[in-house]
Amino acid sequence: MTKIIHSQYVICIAGGIGITAFIGSLKYLLECPSSVIVTKRIHLIWIVKNGDELTWFAQIICDLYHKFWFYDEMDRFHVELYITNKKSLNNFNFCDNFQILQHRIQYGRPKFQHLFNFWKQLYEQKTVNVFCCGPKMLLKDIKKLCIRINLSEKIKFNYLHDSYS
Ligand SMILES: Cc1cc2nc3c(=O)[nH]c(=O)nc-3n(C[C@H](O)[C@H](O)[C@H](O)COP(=O)(O)OP(=O)(O)OC[C@H]3O[C@@H](n4cnc5c(N)ncnc54)[C@H](O)[C@@H]3O)c2cc1C
Query: Mean pLDDT throughout 127-145?
Result: 96
How far apart (Å, rounded) are the C-alpha atoms in residues 19 and 57?
Answer: 8
> How many Cβ atoms sit within 10 Å of the Cβ of residue 143?
16
Q: Can you list the domains of the chain with their CATH numbers?
A: 2-161 (3.40.50.80)
Per-residue CA distances from 103 to 49, 93, 129 (Å):
17, 10, 26
Instruction: Give the position, in ligand 1's atom list, of the atom nearest the Cα of 85.
Output: 49
Instruction: Give the position, in ligand 1's atom list, of the atom nearest the Cα of 132.
Output: 11
Span 84-99, pLDDT tens digits = 987 766 678 888 889 8
Residue type present at position 39: T
Q: How far is the CA of 9 from the centre of ligand 1 (A)?
A: 23
How far apart (Å, rounded) are the C-alpha atoms in residues 52 and 58?
Answer: 10
Instruction: Give the position, in ligand 1's atom list, of the atom nearest the Cα of 164.
Output: 8
Rounded to two decimals, what is the model's pTM?
0.93
- For a substitution probing ligand 1, which of 20, 45, 46, 84 has the most ligand atoms within 8 Å of its CB? 84
C-alpha closest to that of 145 among 122, 125, 109, 117: 117
